[in-house]
Amino acid sequence: MTIGGKSVSGEDTFAVLNPSTGETAGYAPKGSIKDLDSAVSAANKAFESWSQLSDEELQAACEKVTAKIDENAEELANIITLEQGKPLNGLGSRWELGGASAWAGYTSGLSLPMKTLQDNNEGLVELHRKPLGVIGSITPWNFPVMIAVWHIMPALRTGNTVVIKPSPNTPLSTLRLVEIMNEVLPAGVVNCVTDNEEGENLGAAMSAHPDIRKIVFTGSCATGQKVMLSAAETMKRLTLEMGGNDAAIVLPDVDPKAIAEGLFWGGFINNGQTCAAMKRLYVHEDVYDDVCTELVAFAKNIPMGDGMAEESILGPIQNKMQFDKVSRLVEAGKQKGRVLLGGEPGDGLFFPATIIADLENGDPLVDEEQFGPALPIIKYSDIDDVINAANDTTNGLGGSVWSKDIDTAKEIALQLECGSVWINKHGAIQPNAPFGGVKSSGFGVEFGEEGLQEYTDIQVVFS
């Protein structure tokens, strides 16, 4: 672990498995509450001077961190592939590092200058943005480095310090990322602790910790709710980025062949293990058969294999729990729907891209977040009915509408209950556009100026 700029071992370690082979990818330290306390106190101490840096100094430091990420991109991509399973190529770990660099670079260039709210003979009113203190970052296993960067960079840019705790499934790339960042940052500015299910739950301890001012959490709805409950006692600020069950609505005027590739990657990016992936595909009856045919024609040629093989474009499911969930939902889907592709588990944690048609709301594969390579297709005939069906979920992360008529698509898009909505694509997030969920998908946003603001308190000065 990295605590106060030093490498620290836990009393014990735990094995991290390579999902492609089942072999050990490496060992991570089993951190304790004592380690967490040291990390928080190192971050608190570092905050004293880090928070006093000028805006220009913070920007320059963040640019140095970005350069370090770029310099070490290939090593980090290899670690991600070994522990997460996603291929090096395609939309895999090298792509994830490209994203991490783009977000780090863009966030470095943002700033939140003082705003004058009033300047007249009745007085001067200024709005200042001040850093919060120690930020606790808790991350999931699907994009371990990119999501760590999403949490850490805006915190640093606004003068905060950080303690990050990655998922026990993918701690190795975050441990290394933080080590690399520490080559150019003062001691204690970014710290990393790791845990696993058998040890002390450091995520729970972080959300209750009296010296952490804010938790930025990305993960499941169930865990996010626990974070929110325990954060109440210490009045922590929260950004909660949680699960999604994104709907895509295909209108009757589309060219099925032209949209097949976009539909496929909308649903199967990172093997479907993506918060804002398309998880339910609603297709108008006029183009239903053609969309099914074209989607399958595209999907069946995507090579799946060991992430370290340069030719692999899809890898395994990351862990057994997720594999079992996908298997259960696919089994349920097969009882009622028509399997167009896949449907049978492969070796180890490999599950082939699976497409099941003729399902509807109420079916488990439609109602539950599958978070894996299995897409249900639902036929509709009436636009109001399909909007209701799309909104009939407690989640509200993303959504999409597919049509040649952009104005009509936008009208429908505005009726979807979700934080981001795309026309003729799905899940295409970018660093200058705030991203976040509504309903049970969480609250608060990441990215852009609005995302940066979440790492600050407002202070208004009246003179």
* Site residues for ligand NAD per CB under 6 A: 138-142, 165, 167-168, 201, 203-204, 207, 218-220, 223, 226-227, 241-244, 275, 369, 371, 397, 437
- How far is the C-alpha of 381 from the C-alpha of 284, rounded, in Å? 6
Q: Smaller CB distance to ligand NAD: residue 27 or 443?
A: 443
**CB 139 to ligand NAD: min, Å:** 6
Element at 161 (helix H, strand E): strand 161-165
Residue nearest to ligand NAD (CB): 203
Tell me which residues are annotated as active site.
241, 275
State the SS3 of 353-403: CEEEECCCCCCHHHHCCCCCCEEEEEEECCHHHHHHHHHCCCCCCEEEEEC
Contact criterion met (CB below 8 Å) for 183 and 65? no
Q: Report the 10 Å Cβ neighbour count for 28.
A: 23
**CB 144 to ligand NAD: min, Å:** 9
**CB 178 to ligand NAD: min, Å:** 14
- How far is the C-alpha of 222 from the C-alpha of 175, rounded, in Å? 25
The DSSP code for 236 is -
Q: Smaller CB distance to ligand NAD: residue 144 or 256?
A: 144
Helix residue ranges, H only, 112-220:
144-157, 172-182, 202-208
**CB 273 to ligand NAD: min, Å:** 7
Q: Smaller CB distance to ligand NAD: residue 244 or 307?
A: 244
Contact criterion met (CB below 8 Å) for 425 and 262? yes
Q: Smaller CB distance to ligand NAD: residue 243 or 448?
A: 243
**CB 83 to ligand NAD: min, Å:** 13
Q: Report the 10 Å Cβ neighbour count for 300.
A: 13
Residue pointed to by tokens 């905050």: 47
Q: Smaller CB distance to ligand NAD: residue 40 or 227?
A: 227
Cβ-proximal residues to 183 (8 Å cutoff; 6+ apart), any chain = 68
